[in-house]
Each structure stands twice: as C-alpha cells, then as structure tokens.
Amino acid sequence: MPDTWDERKRALEEDYFHRKEREAIEKMRAARATQGGTAVGLQCPKCDGRLMEIDYEVVKIDRCEKCHGVWLDSGELEQLTKQEEGGGFLGRMFGSFSRK
C-alpha cells in the first residue's frame, strides 16, 4: 500500500510541474506574439519610446521614435567630430573633448 501512495504522489508532482512548464511556455509565446511584427529595439533611457538605428553621415546612431533624443554608442562621438573638425558644429562643440 505505501508504494501506491508514493507512486500517486510522484504522479501528482510530475503533473504539477508539467502544467507549470506549459503555462510558462504559453506566456513566452504570448509575449513573443505581441512583439511579432515590429522591430524590437532598445528602450529610450529618457522616455518609454523605442530607439531606432539611423545613419548620420557614415555613423549609425540611435534615435528615439517618441522624444527624438539621440544616443551615441562608445566611439561614435569621436567619429562624428573627426569628420567635422574643420568647422562643423560637432567639431567645434566636442572636438576638444575627443583630443584629451
């Protein structure tokens, strides 16, 4: 008789975990389906908008769809200031920082 109870407990436990796994898989599928058709970018640090990669001259920069903020990755400011050192706005504004 004790073996029957142990088998029953084991079967219930396996059934419980099997249901939990199915629920977790369904939640992941639902989350993936909601992201489906749109390109998933990074979230803007300032607002809840999405960052989209755009080309500015020869550098790819991130721009928020909502607040239109511009975010630069490591080294992108230096690339932009090198291109404009002669007299462009970025070269004048940030050129001294990139030379230090």
Summarised one tens digit per residue, pLDDT across range 72-84 is: 888 888 887 776 6
Q: Where are the alpha helices (DSSP H) in the chain?
A: 2-35, 76-83, 89-99
Same domain, 66 and 31: no
Cα 65 to Cα 41: distance, rounded to the nearest angstrom: 10
- Domain ranges, residue 21: 1-37
Q: How many domains does the chain have?
A: 2
What does the pLDDT look like over 9-68, one tens digit per residue? 989 999 999 898 888 878 877 776 776 544 456 788 888 888 888 888 778 888 888 898
Q: Is residue 8 part of a domain?
A: yes
Q: How far apart are CA 52 and CA 82, in angstroms?
A: 24
Tell me if 54 sits within 8 A of 76, measured CB to CB: no
Q: With 50 as the cut, is the pLDDT of residue 2 above it?
A: yes
